[in-house]
């Protein structure tokens, strides 16, 4: 089964592919010959994920999925949340975003946070959503060089190292994206068994 993954983020594609069995093949936007920056105009992860999958479904007519992820820091009232990619500005710099989060948490004792991923799947023209949450905490300083985005400052519950200090396989045992993807895979397998 082929699914177009509506993202231009190579790190996300790498993570998703590492979770797949033989039954599913992920086609990237580049492989589908699509070169657009998909808009994320809404106030919720759910709406942004739906926007991305709908745009790609309209362009390709193929089954597809998208995902939107946010880092939600409790002491910041859930920020950066849906603004995670451009928290420190439209340049969408991971380094700048990390500096801003650490600065805002400087005097806070509660460093709890969570990543939340929403996947929007469009299959046979119908939309379904799957959520994955990874609770954890924000470090005082960045640690590690693997991964991307906020990985160097996030330690998932149950671990003693940041996501950026883990290989992909270990990150996937905790990650929000892996958890949301599990829901997607379970659904697709059930569909496959019914046909």
Rule CB under 6 A: choose which of 51, 63, 72, 151 binds ligand IMP.
151
16 and 4 Cβ atoms separated by less than 8 Å: no
Q: Where are the alpha helices (DSSP H) in 3-128?
A: 10-18, 45-60, 94-104
Residue 69 interacts with ligand IMP (CB under 6 A)?
yes
Rule CB under 6 A: choose which of 28, 84, 120, 172 binds ligand IMP.
84
CA–CA separation, 165 and 158 (whole Å): 14
Residue 53 interacts with ligand IMP (CB under 6 A)?
no
Which listed range, 26-34, 67-75, 102-110, 118-126, lies at the site for ligand IMP (CB under 6 A)?
Answer: 67-75
Q: 83-92: long-range contacts at Cβ-Cβ below 8 A with a sequence spacing of 24 or more?
A: 84/149, 84/150, 85/40
Residue 63 interacts with ligand IMP (CB under 6 A)?
no
**Positive or negative: CA dihedral 3, 150, 145, 95:** positive
Using the 8-state DSSP alphabet, how is residue 117 labeled? E
Nearer of residues 71 and 188 to ligand IMP, judged by Cβ: 71
| CB contact set of 143 (below 8 Å; sequence gap of 6+) | 152, 153, 161, 162, 164, 165
Residues carrying an active site annotation: 68
Rule CB under 6 A: choose which of 29, 64, 73, 85 binds ligand IMP.
85
For the segment 161-190, give every residue that binds ligand IMP (CB under 6 A): 163, 175, 177
Quote the least distance from Cβ 40 to ligand IMP, whole Å.
Answer: 6
Instruction: Give the number of residues in contact with ligand IMP, rule: CB under 6 A.
Output: 18
Q: Dig out the tokens for 110 from the structure.
A: 């509660």
List the one residue out of 104, 85, 88, 86 whose CA is nearest residue 96. 88
Which listed range, 22-30, 136-144, 149-157, 181-189, lies at the site for ligand IMP (CB under 6 A)?
Answer: 149-157
Which residues of this chain interact with ligand IMP, rule CB under 6 A?
Answer: 9, 40, 68-69, 71, 84-85, 94, 97, 115, 147-151, 163, 175, 177
């Amino acid at each position: 089964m082929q699914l177009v993954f509506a993202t231009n983020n190579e790190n996300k594609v790498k993570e998703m592919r590492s979770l797949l069995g033989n039954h599913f093949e992920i086609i990237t936007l580049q492989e589908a010959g699509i070169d657009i920056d998909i808009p994320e105009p809404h106030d919720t992860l759910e709406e942004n994920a739906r926007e991305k999958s709908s745009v790609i479904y309209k362009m390709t007519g193929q089954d597809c999925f998208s995902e939107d992820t946010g880092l939600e820091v409790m002491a910041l009232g859930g920020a950066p949340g849906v603004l995670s990619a451009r928290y420190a500005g439209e340049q969408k710099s991971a380094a700048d975003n990390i500096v801003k989060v650490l600065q805002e948490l400087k005097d806070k004792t509660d460093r709890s946070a969570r990543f939340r991923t929403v996947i929007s799947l469009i299959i046979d023209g119908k939309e379904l959503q799957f959520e994955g949450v990874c609770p954890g905490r924000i470090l005082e300083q960045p640690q590690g060089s693997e991964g991307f985005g906020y990985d160097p400052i996030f330690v998932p519950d149950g671990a003693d190292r940041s996501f950026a200090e883990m290989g992909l396989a270990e990150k996937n045992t905790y990650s929000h994206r892996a958890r949301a993807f599990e829901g997607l895979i379970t659904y697709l397998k059930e569909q496959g068994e019914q046909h």
